[in-house]
Amino acid sequence: MPAEAVALPLAVGDLRYRDSAQSGLGFTGGSQVLPLERGRMVSQTLSRADDTLLIREAQRGNRAAFEELVRQYDQPVLRLALNLTRSEQDAQDIFQEAFLKAYRNLGSFRFECSFYTWVYRIVTNLCLDHLRKKQVRKEEAPVAVDKQGVEYDLLDQQADDRAGSNPERDLMRRELGHRIGRALERLTPRERMVFELKHYQGLKLRTIGEMLNTTEDTAKNTLFRATQKLRATLSEMR
Amino acid sequence: MNCEWVKENIPSYLYDELGDDARHELEQHLARCAGCAAEAEAVRELKQAASALPRVEPAPNLLTASRMRLQESLETVKQNSGWQRWVFDPGAWLQQVRFSPALAAAILMAGFTGGALTAYRLAPRAEGNAVATSESSIAGIRGISQEPGSNNVQVRYDRLVPESVQGSMDDPRIQQLLLYAARSNENSGLRMDSINLLTRRHDDTRVREALMYALRYDRNPGVRLKALDGLADYVSEDVRVRNAVLEALMQDSNPGVRIEAIRLLESVKPDWSVRSAFRQLAEQDQNDFIRREARRVLATLPELD
Protein backbone atom coordinates (compact mmCIF):
# COMPACT_ATOMS: atom_id res chain seq x y z
CA MET A 1 0.00 0.00 0.00
CA PRO A 2 1.46 3.41 -0.85
CA ALA A 3 2.14 5.78 2.01
CA GLU A 4 -0.52 8.23 0.83
CA ALA A 5 -3.24 5.61 1.01
CA VAL A 6 -2.70 4.99 4.70
CA ALA A 7 -2.26 8.63 5.46
CA LEU A 8 -5.89 9.59 5.07
CA PRO A 9 -7.58 7.65 7.87
CA LEU A 10 -4.95 9.04 10.23
CA ALA A 11 -5.48 12.55 9.03
CA VAL A 12 -9.25 12.43 9.39
CA GLY A 13 -9.28 10.54 12.67
CA ASP A 14 -6.69 12.58 14.43
CA LEU A 15 -8.19 15.80 13.28
CA ARG A 16 -11.59 14.98 14.63
CA TYR A 17 -10.07 14.22 17.99
CA ARG A 18 -8.59 17.66 18.14
CA ASP A 19 -11.86 19.20 17.21
CA SER A 20 -13.72 17.26 19.82
CA ALA A 21 -11.25 18.50 22.39
CA GLN A 22 -12.02 22.06 21.45
CA SER A 23 -15.77 21.81 21.26
CA GLY A 24 -16.02 20.33 24.73
CA LEU A 25 -19.08 18.25 24.10
CA GLY A 26 -17.07 16.06 21.82
CA PHE A 27 -19.52 15.54 19.02
CA THR A 28 -18.62 17.13 15.75
CA GLY A 29 -20.85 16.75 12.76
CA GLY A 30 -19.02 15.86 9.57
CA SER A 31 -19.60 19.17 7.81
CA GLN A 32 -18.70 21.49 10.66
CA VAL A 33 -14.96 20.93 10.39
CA LEU A 34 -14.63 21.23 6.65
CA PRO A 35 -13.06 24.69 6.15
CA LEU A 36 -10.02 23.85 8.28
CA GLU A 37 -9.74 20.29 7.16
CA ARG A 38 -7.70 20.61 4.02
CA GLY A 39 -4.78 22.56 5.40
CA ARG A 40 -4.50 20.32 8.42
CA MET A 41 -4.80 17.23 6.34
CA VAL A 42 -1.79 18.28 4.31
CA SER A 43 0.30 18.84 7.42
CA GLN A 44 -0.94 15.54 8.85
CA THR A 45 0.04 13.76 5.67
CA LEU A 46 3.47 15.34 5.83
CA SER A 47 3.89 14.25 9.42
CA ARG A 48 3.29 10.68 8.28
CA ALA A 49 6.80 10.58 6.91
CA ASP A 50 8.15 11.59 10.34
CA ASP A 51 5.98 8.92 11.88
CA THR A 52 7.53 6.29 9.66
CA LEU A 53 11.02 7.34 10.69
CA LEU A 54 10.02 7.40 14.34
CA ILE A 55 8.50 3.93 14.08
CA ARG A 56 11.63 2.59 12.38
CA GLU A 57 13.80 4.10 15.09
CA ALA A 58 11.56 2.78 17.84
CA GLN A 59 11.63 -0.66 16.23
CA ARG A 60 15.40 -0.58 16.51
CA GLY A 61 14.98 -0.14 20.23
CA ASN A 62 15.23 3.66 20.45
CA ARG A 63 13.04 4.46 23.43
CA ALA A 64 13.08 8.21 22.90
CA ALA A 65 11.56 7.69 19.46
CA PHE A 66 8.87 5.53 20.97
CA GLU A 67 8.10 8.13 23.61
CA GLU A 68 7.81 10.73 20.88
CA LEU A 69 5.30 8.48 19.12
CA VAL A 70 3.40 7.98 22.34
CA ARG A 71 3.07 11.76 22.73
CA GLN A 72 1.20 11.94 19.46
CA TYR A 73 -1.41 9.41 20.48
CA ASP A 74 -1.58 9.34 24.25
CA GLN A 75 -4.16 12.04 24.82
CA PRO A 76 -6.82 10.63 22.48
CA VAL A 77 -6.09 7.14 23.83
CA LEU A 78 -6.61 8.29 27.41
CA ARG A 79 -9.75 10.18 26.40
CA LEU A 80 -11.21 7.10 24.71
CA ALA A 81 -10.45 4.84 27.68
CA LEU A 82 -11.75 7.41 30.15
CA ASN A 83 -15.03 7.89 28.34
CA LEU A 84 -15.58 4.17 27.89
CA THR A 85 -14.70 3.13 31.42
CA ARG A 86 -15.76 6.32 33.23
CA SER A 87 -13.05 5.60 35.74
CA GLU A 88 -9.68 7.35 35.95
CA GLN A 89 -8.02 4.32 37.48
CA ASP A 90 -9.24 1.94 34.78
CA ALA A 91 -8.41 4.42 32.03
CA GLN A 92 -4.89 4.77 33.37
CA ASP A 93 -4.48 0.99 33.51
CA ILE A 94 -5.66 0.63 29.91
CA PHE A 95 -3.36 3.44 28.83
CA GLN A 96 -0.40 1.77 30.53
CA GLU A 97 -1.14 -1.70 29.21
CA ALA A 98 -1.85 -0.48 25.68
CA PHE A 99 1.43 1.38 25.22
CA LEU A 100 3.51 -1.31 26.88
CA LYS A 101 1.90 -3.82 24.56
CA ALA A 102 2.58 -1.52 21.61
CA TYR A 103 6.23 -1.19 22.67
CA ARG A 104 6.73 -4.91 23.15
CA ASN A 105 5.10 -5.78 19.85
CA LEU A 106 6.43 -2.92 17.80
CA GLY A 107 8.63 -5.38 15.93
CA SER A 108 5.54 -7.02 14.49
CA PHE A 109 4.20 -3.74 13.11
CA ARG A 110 4.65 -4.19 9.37
CA PHE A 111 3.15 -0.95 8.02
CA GLU A 112 0.16 -2.91 6.71
CA CYS A 113 -2.12 -0.33 8.26
CA SER A 114 -1.48 3.12 9.70
CA PHE A 115 0.25 3.22 13.07
CA TYR A 116 -2.77 5.08 14.39
CA THR A 117 -5.08 2.18 13.46
CA TRP A 118 -2.59 -0.30 14.88
CA VAL A 119 -2.39 1.46 18.24
CA TYR A 120 -6.14 1.85 18.34
CA ARG A 121 -6.60 -1.83 17.60
CA ILE A 122 -4.67 -2.57 20.78
CA VAL A 123 -6.54 0.03 22.79
CA THR A 124 -10.01 -0.96 21.60
CA ASN A 125 -9.22 -4.62 22.33
CA LEU A 126 -8.23 -3.78 25.88
CA CYS A 127 -11.30 -1.59 26.32
CA LEU A 128 -13.55 -4.35 24.97
CA ASP A 129 -12.01 -6.80 27.46
CA HIS A 130 -12.62 -4.31 30.21
CA LEU A 131 -16.25 -3.76 29.19
CA ARG A 132 -16.83 -7.51 28.93
CA LYS A 133 -15.46 -8.14 32.39
CA LYS A 134 -17.50 -5.29 33.78
CA GLN A 135 -20.64 -6.67 32.18
CA VAL A 136 -20.08 -10.16 33.56
CA ARG A 137 -19.41 -8.74 37.03
CA LYS A 138 -22.59 -6.74 36.85
CA GLU A 139 -24.65 -9.74 35.75
CA GLU A 140 -23.33 -11.75 38.64
CA ALA A 141 -23.60 -9.06 41.28
CA PRO A 142 -26.71 -6.98 40.66
CA VAL A 143 -26.02 -4.76 43.67
CA ALA A 144 -23.57 -2.55 41.81
CA VAL A 145 -25.43 0.67 42.49
CA ASP A 146 -22.69 2.02 44.66
CA LYS A 147 -20.04 1.57 42.05
CA GLN A 148 -22.26 3.12 39.42
CA GLY A 149 -22.82 6.06 41.70
CA VAL A 150 -19.10 6.58 42.08
CA GLU A 151 -18.56 6.37 38.37
CA TYR A 152 -21.15 8.98 37.66
CA ASP A 153 -19.61 11.39 40.10
CA LEU A 154 -16.97 11.89 37.48
CA LEU A 155 -19.70 12.82 35.08
CA ASP A 156 -21.37 15.22 37.50
CA GLN A 157 -18.14 17.03 38.09
CA GLN A 158 -17.71 17.53 34.41
CA ALA A 159 -21.21 18.90 34.04
CA ASP A 160 -20.74 21.24 37.01
CA ASP A 161 -17.75 22.83 35.42
CA ARG A 162 -19.83 23.85 32.50
CA ALA A 163 -22.98 24.98 34.27
CA GLY A 164 -24.36 27.91 32.31
CA SER A 165 -26.87 30.61 33.15
CA ASN A 166 -29.99 28.45 32.93
CA PRO A 167 -30.00 26.04 35.91
CA GLU A 168 -33.28 24.38 34.95
CA ARG A 169 -32.14 23.56 31.46
CA ASP A 170 -28.80 22.36 32.80
CA LEU A 171 -30.54 20.05 35.21
CA MET A 172 -32.67 18.55 32.45
CA ARG A 173 -29.68 18.12 30.26
CA ARG A 174 -27.79 16.46 33.05
CA GLU A 175 -30.65 14.06 33.67
CA LEU A 176 -30.78 13.23 30.00
CA GLY A 177 -27.04 12.67 30.11
CA HIS A 178 -27.46 10.20 32.97
CA ARG A 179 -30.16 8.34 31.09
CA ILE A 180 -27.92 8.13 28.02
CA GLY A 181 -25.09 6.86 30.21
CA ARG A 182 -27.27 4.12 31.62
CA ALA A 183 -28.65 3.21 28.19
CA LEU A 184 -25.11 2.94 26.82
CA GLU A 185 -24.30 0.46 29.57
CA ARG A 186 -27.05 -1.81 28.30
CA LEU A 187 -25.33 -2.19 24.91
CA THR A 188 -23.00 -5.09 24.23
CA PRO A 189 -19.33 -4.09 24.50
CA ARG A 190 -18.95 -4.11 20.73
CA GLU A 191 -22.05 -1.99 20.14
CA ARG A 192 -20.87 0.40 22.83
CA MET A 193 -17.47 0.63 21.18
CA VAL A 194 -18.82 1.26 17.69
CA PHE A 195 -21.21 3.92 18.98
CA GLU A 196 -18.41 5.59 20.93
CA LEU A 197 -16.05 5.64 17.97
CA LYS A 198 -18.73 6.81 15.54
CA HIS A 199 -20.81 9.23 17.53
CA TYR A 200 -18.37 10.66 20.04
CA GLN A 201 -15.06 10.29 18.25
CA GLY A 202 -16.45 10.93 14.76
CA LEU A 203 -14.43 8.16 13.05
CA LYS A 204 -15.42 6.72 9.69
CA LEU A 205 -17.11 3.31 9.76
CA ARG A 206 -14.37 2.00 7.51
CA THR A 207 -11.70 2.98 10.03
CA ILE A 208 -13.77 1.56 12.87
CA GLY A 209 -14.06 -1.74 11.00
CA GLU A 210 -10.31 -1.81 10.51
CA MET A 211 -9.68 -1.14 14.19
CA LEU A 212 -12.06 -3.83 15.33
CA ASN A 213 -10.70 -6.33 12.82
CA THR A 214 -13.94 -6.51 10.94
CA THR A 215 -15.60 -5.08 7.83
CA GLU A 216 -17.19 -1.71 7.25
CA ASP A 217 -20.52 -3.48 6.72
CA THR A 218 -20.34 -5.23 10.08
CA ALA A 219 -19.49 -1.94 11.76
CA LYS A 220 -22.48 -0.37 10.02
CA ASN A 221 -24.82 -3.14 11.19
CA THR A 222 -23.49 -2.83 14.72
CA LEU A 223 -24.15 0.92 14.63
CA PHE A 224 -27.71 0.24 13.46
CA ARG A 225 -28.29 -2.26 16.29
CA ALA A 226 -26.81 0.15 18.81
CA THR A 227 -29.14 2.99 17.78
CA GLN A 228 -32.17 0.68 17.86
CA LYS A 229 -31.31 -0.58 21.34
CA LEU A 230 -30.57 2.90 22.66
CA ARG A 231 -33.93 4.16 21.44
CA ALA A 232 -35.75 1.21 22.99
CA THR A 233 -33.95 1.61 26.33
CA LEU A 234 -34.52 5.37 26.45
CA SER A 235 -38.22 5.03 25.75
CA GLU A 236 -38.46 2.45 28.58
CA MET A 237 -36.90 4.97 30.94
CA ARG A 238 -39.29 7.77 30.15
CA MET B 1 -35.32 0.45 -2.31
CA ASN B 2 -37.75 -0.76 0.35
CA CYS B 3 -38.61 0.52 3.81
CA GLU B 4 -36.51 -2.14 5.52
CA TRP B 5 -33.38 -1.10 3.65
CA VAL B 6 -34.10 2.55 4.35
CA LYS B 7 -34.56 1.96 8.08
CA GLU B 8 -31.34 0.02 8.33
CA ASN B 9 -29.48 2.78 6.56
CA ILE B 10 -30.88 5.76 8.44
CA PRO B 11 -28.03 5.82 11.01
CA SER B 12 -25.44 5.69 8.22
CA TYR B 13 -27.33 8.50 6.47
CA LEU B 14 -27.43 10.70 9.55
CA TYR B 15 -23.76 10.07 10.24
CA ASP B 16 -22.93 11.02 6.68
CA GLU B 17 -21.72 7.58 5.68
CA LEU B 18 -23.88 6.93 2.62
CA GLY B 19 -22.62 7.26 -0.92
CA ASP B 20 -24.12 10.04 -3.04
CA ASP B 21 -26.50 7.78 -4.96
CA ALA B 22 -27.77 5.95 -1.93
CA ARG B 23 -28.21 9.22 -0.06
CA HIS B 24 -30.22 10.72 -2.89
CA GLU B 25 -32.48 7.68 -3.14
CA LEU B 26 -32.95 7.55 0.61
CA GLU B 27 -33.90 11.23 0.72
CA GLN B 28 -36.42 10.69 -2.10
CA HIS B 29 -37.91 7.79 -0.15
CA LEU B 30 -38.14 9.83 3.06
CA ALA B 31 -40.01 12.56 1.19
CA ARG B 32 -42.81 10.21 0.24
CA CYS B 33 -42.88 7.63 3.08
CA ALA B 34 -44.22 8.97 6.37
CA GLY B 35 -43.21 5.85 8.33
CA CYS B 36 -39.58 6.06 7.33
CA ALA B 37 -39.53 9.83 7.81
CA ALA B 38 -40.75 9.33 11.39
CA GLU B 39 -38.05 6.71 11.92
CA ALA B 40 -35.41 9.10 10.63
CA GLU B 41 -36.68 11.80 12.95
CA ALA B 42 -36.48 9.43 15.93
CA VAL B 43 -32.89 8.49 15.15
CA ARG B 44 -32.03 12.17 14.68
CA GLU B 45 -33.48 12.87 18.12
CA LEU B 46 -31.43 10.06 19.60
CA LYS B 47 -28.33 11.48 17.98
CA GLN B 48 -29.04 14.84 19.55
CA ALA B 49 -29.84 13.33 22.93
CA ALA B 50 -26.64 11.30 22.89
CA SER B 51 -24.70 14.55 22.80
CA ALA B 52 -26.12 15.39 26.22
CA LEU B 53 -23.76 12.84 27.75
CA PRO B 54 -20.88 15.00 28.92
CA ARG B 55 -17.52 13.99 27.56
CA VAL B 56 -14.86 13.53 30.13
CA GLU B 57 -11.61 15.25 29.24
CA PRO B 58 -8.51 13.70 30.77
CA ALA B 59 -7.28 16.07 33.47
CA PRO B 60 -3.75 17.34 32.79
CA ASN B 61 -2.62 15.67 36.02
CA LEU B 62 -3.99 12.34 34.92
CA LEU B 63 -2.22 12.61 31.59
CA THR B 64 1.07 13.53 33.21
CA ALA B 65 0.77 10.77 35.80
CA SER B 66 -0.02 8.24 33.06
CA ARG B 67 2.97 9.37 31.00
CA MET B 68 5.31 9.13 33.98
CA ARG B 69 4.08 5.70 34.95
CA LEU B 70 4.57 4.50 31.38
CA GLN B 71 8.06 5.99 31.18
CA GLU B 72 9.03 4.19 34.37
CA SER B 73 7.83 0.85 33.07
CA LEU B 74 9.53 1.36 29.74
CA GLU B 75 12.86 1.43 31.58
CA THR B 76 12.56 -2.25 32.35
CA VAL B 77 10.48 -3.58 29.47
CA LYS B 78 12.13 -5.20 26.50
CA GLN B 79 10.88 -5.32 22.95
CA ASN B 80 9.93 -8.71 21.64
CA SER B 81 12.39 -8.56 18.79
CA GLY B 82 15.40 -10.36 20.33
CA TRP B 83 17.74 -11.73 17.77
CA GLN B 84 15.59 -10.67 14.87
CA ARG B 85 16.81 -7.11 15.20
CA TRP B 86 20.33 -8.15 14.31
CA VAL B 87 19.62 -10.27 11.28
CA PHE B 88 18.60 -9.22 7.83
CA ASP B 89 14.88 -8.61 7.44
CA PRO B 90 14.01 -8.32 3.74
CA GLY B 91 10.56 -6.86 4.43
CA ALA B 92 11.88 -4.11 6.68
CA TRP B 93 14.71 -3.45 4.28
CA LEU B 94 12.28 -2.97 1.41
CA GLN B 95 10.24 -0.60 3.56
CA GLN B 96 13.33 1.42 4.30
CA VAL B 97 14.23 1.61 0.63
CA ARG B 98 10.73 2.77 -0.13
CA PHE B 99 11.12 5.75 2.13
CA SER B 100 14.68 6.60 1.14
CA PRO B 101 14.70 7.81 -2.46
CA ALA B 102 18.47 8.40 -2.43
CA LEU B 103 19.23 4.87 -1.31
CA ALA B 104 16.75 3.46 -3.80
CA ALA B 105 18.38 5.46 -6.60
CA ALA B 106 21.84 4.26 -5.56
CA ILE B 107 20.72 0.65 -5.58
CA LEU B 108 19.11 1.11 -8.97
CA MET B 109 22.31 2.61 -10.36
CA ALA B 110 24.43 -0.16 -8.86
CA GLY B 111 22.08 -2.72 -10.40
CA PHE B 112 22.21 -1.03 -13.74
CA THR B 113 26.01 -0.80 -13.80
CA GLY B 114 26.31 -4.37 -12.60
CA GLY B 115 23.90 -5.48 -15.32
CA ALA B 116 25.84 -3.59 -17.97
CA LEU B 117 29.16 -5.07 -16.84
CA THR B 118 27.89 -8.61 -16.91
CA ALA B 119 26.03 -8.14 -20.21
CA TYR B 120 26.48 -11.14 -22.34
CA ARG B 121 27.91 -10.74 -25.79
CA LEU B 122 26.52 -13.05 -28.42
CA ALA B 123 29.00 -13.26 -31.20
CA PRO B 124 28.72 -15.71 -34.08
CA ARG B 125 32.53 -16.22 -34.03
CA ALA B 126 32.62 -17.38 -30.43
CA GLU B 127 30.69 -20.57 -30.83
CA GLY B 128 32.36 -22.18 -27.84
CA ASN B 129 30.82 -19.53 -25.59
CA ALA B 130 27.44 -21.20 -25.05
CA VAL B 131 24.56 -19.40 -23.34
CA ALA B 132 25.42 -19.84 -19.72
CA THR B 133 21.94 -19.62 -18.44
CA SER B 134 18.64 -21.38 -18.90
CA GLU B 135 15.51 -19.49 -19.87
CA SER B 136 13.88 -19.95 -16.50
CA SER B 137 16.65 -18.09 -14.65
CA ILE B 138 16.33 -14.93 -16.75
CA ALA B 139 14.47 -12.36 -14.73
CA GLY B 140 14.10 -9.88 -17.57
CA ILE B 141 15.79 -8.52 -20.67
CA ARG B 142 17.01 -4.95 -20.13
CA GLY B 143 18.06 -4.00 -23.61
CA ILE B 144 19.18 -5.18 -27.04
CA SER B 145 21.52 -3.31 -29.31
CA GLN B 146 23.32 -4.13 -32.52
CA GLU B 147 26.76 -2.79 -33.39
CA PRO B 148 26.31 -0.76 -36.61
CA GLY B 149 27.55 -2.52 -39.73
CA SER B 150 28.29 -5.78 -37.96
CA ASN B 151 26.59 -8.96 -37.02
CA ASN B 152 27.13 -8.48 -33.31
CA VAL B 153 24.18 -8.12 -30.98
CA GLN B 154 24.36 -7.12 -27.34
CA VAL B 155 21.63 -8.35 -24.98
CA ARG B 156 21.53 -7.03 -21.45
CA TYR B 157 19.57 -9.09 -18.96
CA ASP B 158 19.10 -9.78 -15.24
CA ARG B 159 19.47 -13.21 -13.78
CA LEU B 160 17.65 -14.68 -10.83
CA VAL B 161 20.12 -16.34 -8.52
CA PRO B 162 18.43 -18.87 -6.26
CA GLU B 163 20.24 -19.42 -3.02
CA SER B 164 19.81 -21.88 -0.24
CA VAL B 165 20.89 -22.03 3.35
CA GLN B 166 21.28 -25.12 5.42
CA GLY B 167 21.49 -25.25 9.15
CA SER B 168 19.87 -26.41 12.34
CA MET B 169 16.70 -24.95 13.79
CA ASP B 170 18.92 -23.15 16.31
CA ASP B 171 20.55 -21.12 13.55
CA PRO B 172 19.18 -17.56 13.66
CA ARG B 173 19.38 -17.32 9.86
CA ILE B 174 17.17 -20.37 9.49
CA GLN B 175 14.73 -19.05 12.08
CA GLN B 176 14.66 -15.71 10.34
CA LEU B 177 13.88 -17.26 6.97
CA LEU B 178 11.17 -19.47 8.44
CA LEU B 179 9.57 -16.50 10.17
CA TYR B 180 9.70 -14.60 6.92
CA ALA B 181 8.16 -17.51 5.02
CA ALA B 182 5.43 -17.90 7.64
CA ARG B 183 4.36 -14.30 7.18
CA SER B 184 4.94 -13.41 3.62
CA ASN B 185 5.08 -16.34 1.27
CA GLU B 186 2.46 -16.54 -1.45
CA ASN B 187 2.46 -20.31 -1.38
CA SER B 188 0.26 -21.58 1.44
CA GLY B 189 2.02 -24.98 1.41
CA LEU B 190 5.28 -23.25 2.24
CA ARG B 191 3.61 -21.17 4.94
CA MET B 192 2.25 -24.40 6.39
CA ASP B 193 5.70 -26.04 6.35
CA SER B 194 7.35 -23.11 8.06
CA ILE B 195 4.61 -22.86 10.69
CA ASN B 196 4.98 -26.59 11.24
CA LEU B 197 8.71 -26.24 11.89
CA LEU B 198 8.26 -23.14 14.00
CA THR B 199 5.77 -24.85 16.32
CA ARG B 200 8.68 -26.92 17.60
CA ARG B 201 10.29 -23.75 18.92
CA HIS B 202 7.23 -22.05 20.31
CA ASP B 203 9.00 -21.24 23.56
CA ASP B 204 10.61 -18.39 21.61
CA THR B 205 8.38 -15.29 21.91
CA ARG B 206 9.22 -14.28 18.36
CA VAL B 207 7.89 -17.59 17.09
CA ARG B 208 4.82 -17.28 19.23
CA GLU B 209 4.20 -13.89 17.62
CA ALA B 210 4.48 -15.42 14.16
CA LEU B 211 2.01 -18.14 15.14
CA MET B 212 -0.44 -15.56 16.47
CA TYR B 213 0.01 -13.52 13.32
CA ALA B 214 -0.74 -16.59 11.19
CA LEU B 215 -3.78 -17.37 13.31
CA ARG B 216 -5.10 -13.86 12.87
CA TYR B 217 -4.25 -13.06 9.31
CA ASP B 218 -3.40 -16.13 7.25
CA ARG B 219 -5.90 -16.66 4.45
CA ASN B 220 -5.56 -20.42 4.54
CA PRO B 221 -7.62 -22.18 7.27
CA GLY B 222 -5.14 -25.10 7.28
CA VAL B 223 -2.33 -22.75 8.21
CA ARG B 224 -4.49 -21.14 10.90
CA LEU B 225 -5.28 -24.56 12.36
CA LYS B 226 -1.60 -25.43 12.39
CA ALA B 227 -0.84 -22.18 14.19
CA LEU B 228 -3.56 -22.97 16.77
CA ASP B 229 -1.91 -26.33 17.39
CA GLY B 230 1.39 -24.63 18.04
CA LEU B 231 -0.19 -22.19 20.49
CA ALA B 232 -2.12 -24.82 22.47
CA ASP B 233 0.39 -25.10 25.34
CA TYR B 234 0.45 -21.35 25.92
CA VAL B 235 -3.22 -20.54 26.21
CA SER B 236 -3.14 -20.84 29.97
CA GLU B 237 0.03 -18.87 30.68
CA ASP B 238 0.16 -16.18 27.98
CA VAL B 239 -2.74 -13.72 27.88
CA ARG B 240 -1.82 -12.56 24.40
CA VAL B 241 -2.11 -16.09 23.10
CA ARG B 242 -5.41 -16.45 24.87
CA ASN B 243 -6.70 -13.26 23.27
CA ALA B 244 -5.62 -14.40 19.82
CA VAL B 245 -7.40 -17.73 20.30
CA LEU B 246 -10.46 -15.91 21.62
CA GLU B 247 -10.49 -13.73 18.52
CA ALA B 248 -10.28 -16.83 16.35
CA LEU B 249 -13.15 -18.36 18.32
CA MET B 250 -15.37 -15.32 17.84
CA GLN B 251 -14.39 -14.19 14.38
CA ASP B 252 -12.72 -16.84 12.29
CA SER B 253 -14.61 -17.53 9.09
CA ASN B 254 -13.86 -21.24 9.28
CA PRO B 255 -15.95 -23.38 11.67
CA GLY B 256 -13.14 -25.96 11.95
CA VAL B 257 -10.77 -23.32 13.30
CA ARG B 258 -13.40 -22.08 15.74
CA ILE B 259 -14.13 -25.60 17.01
CA GLU B 260 -10.42 -26.16 17.57
CA ALA B 261 -10.32 -22.83 19.44
CA ILE B 262 -13.14 -24.09 21.71
CA ARG B 263 -11.04 -27.17 22.50
CA LEU B 264 -8.05 -25.01 23.39
CA LEU B 265 -10.01 -22.58 25.53
CA GLU B 266 -11.72 -25.30 27.55
CA SER B 267 -8.65 -25.47 29.77
CA VAL B 268 -8.97 -21.80 30.71
CA LYS B 269 -12.75 -21.52 30.76
CA PRO B 270 -12.94 -19.95 34.25
CA ASP B 271 -11.27 -16.84 32.77
CA TRP B 272 -13.75 -13.95 32.59
CA SER B 273 -13.30 -13.06 28.98
CA VAL B 274 -13.37 -16.72 27.93
CA ARG B 275 -16.48 -17.29 29.92
CA SER B 276 -18.34 -14.34 28.49
CA ALA B 277 -17.25 -15.32 25.00
CA PHE B 278 -18.72 -18.78 25.53
CA ARG B 279 -21.91 -17.21 26.84
CA GLN B 280 -22.22 -15.05 23.79
CA LEU B 281 -21.66 -18.03 21.51
CA ALA B 282 -24.16 -20.17 23.42
CA GLU B 283 -26.80 -17.51 23.00
CA GLN B 284 -26.40 -16.19 19.54
CA ASP B 285 -23.92 -18.00 17.35
CA GLN B 286 -25.27 -18.89 13.93
CA ASN B 287 -23.55 -22.25 13.88
CA ASP B 288 -25.62 -24.96 15.67
CA PHE B 289 -22.64 -27.08 16.56
CA ILE B 290 -20.70 -24.19 18.04
CA ARG B 291 -23.72 -23.08 20.05
CA ARG B 292 -24.10 -26.59 21.45
CA GLU B 293 -20.41 -26.88 22.22
CA ALA B 294 -20.41 -23.53 24.00
CA ARG B 295 -23.38 -24.64 26.11
CA ARG B 296 -21.64 -27.91 26.90
CA VAL B 297 -18.52 -26.07 28.08
CA LEU B 298 -20.57 -23.62 30.15
CA ALA B 299 -22.50 -26.51 31.75
CA THR B 300 -19.27 -28.06 33.02
CA LEU B 301 -18.06 -24.78 34.44
CA PRO B 302 -17.53 -24.73 38.20
CA GLU B 303 -19.45 -21.99 40.01
CA LEU B 304 -17.25 -19.09 41.00
CA ASP B 305 -17.87 -16.53 43.65
- DSSP-assigned letters across all residues of A116-183: HHHHHHHHHHHHHHHHHHHHHHHHH----HHHHHHHHHHHHHHHHHT--S-HHHHHHHHHHHHHHHHH
Identity of the residue in A60, A95, A103 whose CB atom sits nearest the CB atom of B74: A103
ipTM: 0.71
Q: Where in chain B is the domain with CATH 1.25.10.10?
A: 172-299
Cα gap B190→A164, rounded to integer Å: 66
Highest-confidence segment of A20-29, A229-238, B27-36? B27-36
pLDDT in tens, B174-184: 888 888 888 76
Does residue A27 surpass a pLDDT of 50?
Answer: no
Which of A224, A234, A235, A236 to mutate to test binding with chain B, by most B CBs within 10 Å of its CB?
Answer: A224
Instruction: Please answer yes or no on whether B67 and A74 come within 8 Å at the CB atom.
Output: yes
Cα gap A28→A5, rounded to integer Å: 24
Does residue B66 surpass a pLDDT of 80?
Answer: yes
pLDDT of residue A214: 92
Q: What is the arithmetic mean of pLDDT over B252-273?
A: 86
Does residue B243 surpass a pLDDT of 70?
Answer: yes
User: CB contact, 8 Å: A212 with chain B?
Assistant: no
User: CB contact, 8 Å: A32 with chain B?
Assistant: no
Q: Chain A: nearest CA to B163, how far in angstroms?
A: 25
Banded model confidence at residue B128, pLDDT cuts 50, 70, 90 = very low
Banded model confidence at residue A9, pLDDT cuts 50, 70, 90 = very low
More confident residue, B58 or B206: B58
Does residue A15 surpass a pLDDT of 50?
Answer: no
Which of B66, B69, B97 to mutate to test binding with chain A, by most A CBs within 10 Å of its CB?
Answer: B66
Please give the helix or strand (H or E) that residue B125 lies within, else none: none
Banded model confidence at residue B276, pLDDT cuts 50, 70, 90 = confident
Instruction: Please answer yes or no on whether A103 and B67 come within 8 Å at the CB atom.
Output: no
B90-98 and B101-117 are packed helices; what angle lies between their axes, rounded to 10 degrees? Answer: 110
Does residue B251 surpass a pLDDT of 80?
Answer: yes
Q: Chain A: nearest CA to B264, how far in angstroms?
A: 19
Least confident range from B138-142, B205-209, B260-264: namely: B138-142
Instruction: Please answer yes or no on whether A74 and B251 come within 8 Å at the CB atom.
Output: no
Instruction: Please answer yes or no on whether B85 and A107 come within 8 Å at the CB atom.
Output: yes
Q: Chain B: nearest CA to A11, how far in angstroms?
A: 17
Identity of the residue in B55, B99, B183 whose CB atom sits nearest the CB atom of A52: B99
Does residue B296 surpass a pLDDT of 80?
Answer: yes
pLDDT in tens, B135-171: 667 777 788 888 777 788 888 888 777 778 888 877 8
Cα gap B77→B80, rounded to integer Å: 9
Identity of the residue in A26, A136, A198 whose CB atom sits nearest the CB atom of B275: A136
pLDDT of residue B266: 85
Does residue B72 surpass a pLDDT of 90?
Answer: no
Does residue B224 surpass a pLDDT of 70?
Answer: yes
DSSP three-state, residue B200: helix
Q: Chain A: nearest CA to B158, how far in angstroms?
A: 26
Least confident range from B43-47, B142-146, B230-234: namely: B142-146
User: CB contact, 8 Å: A8 with chain B?
Assistant: no
pLDDT of residue B92: 55
The CA-based dihedral angle spanning residues A97, A101, A103, A108, taken in that order and rounded to the nearest 10 degrees: -170
User: CB contact, 8 Å: A90 with chain B?
Assistant: no
Instruction: Please answer yes or no on whether A95 and B66 come within 8 Å at the CB atom.
Output: yes
Residue B86: closest C-alpha in chain A? A60
Q: What CATH architecture applies to the domain B172-299?
A: Alpha Horseshoe (1.25)
pLDDT in tens, A34-73: 444 444 444 444 455 578 888 988 888 888 889 888 988 8
Does residue B124 surpass a pLDDT of 60?
Answer: no
pLDDT of residue A6: 38
Neighbours of B210 (CB within 10 A): 26
User: CB contact, 8 Å: A129 with chain B?
Assistant: yes
Average pLDDT of chain B, as a whole number: 80
Residue A17: closest C-alpha in chain B? B57
CB burial string B145-167: b at 16+ within 10 A, e below: eeeeeeeeeeebbbeeeeeeeee
Residue B12: closest C-alpha in chain A? A220
Q: What is the arithmetic mean of pLDDT over A142-167?
A: 49
Does residue B58 surpass a pLDDT of 60?
Answer: yes
Instruction: Please answer yes or no on whether B52 and A53 come within 8 Å at the CB atom.
Output: no
Cα gap B278→B284, rounded to integer Å: 10
Q: Chain A: nearest CA to B90, how far in angstroms?
A: 12
pTM: 0.50
Average pLDDT of chain A, as a whole number: 76
Please give the helix or strand (H or E) that residue B46 lies within, else none: helix B34-50
Looking at the DSSP assignment, which residues form a beta bridge with residue B153? B122, B146
pLDDT of residue A32: 40
User: CB contact, 8 Å: A92 with chain B?
Assistant: yes
Banded model confidence at residue A77, pLDDT cuts 50, 70, 90 = very high
Banded model confidence at residue B30, pLDDT cuts 50, 70, 90 = very high
pLDDT of residue B202: 63
pLDDT of residue A126: 95
Domains and CATH numbers, chain A: 3-237 (1.10.1740.10)
Residue type for position B190: L
Instruction: Please answer yes or no on whether B43 and A173 come within 8 Å at the CB atom.
Output: no
pLDDT of residue A18: 36
Percent of chain B residues past pLDDT 90, beyond the cut: 18
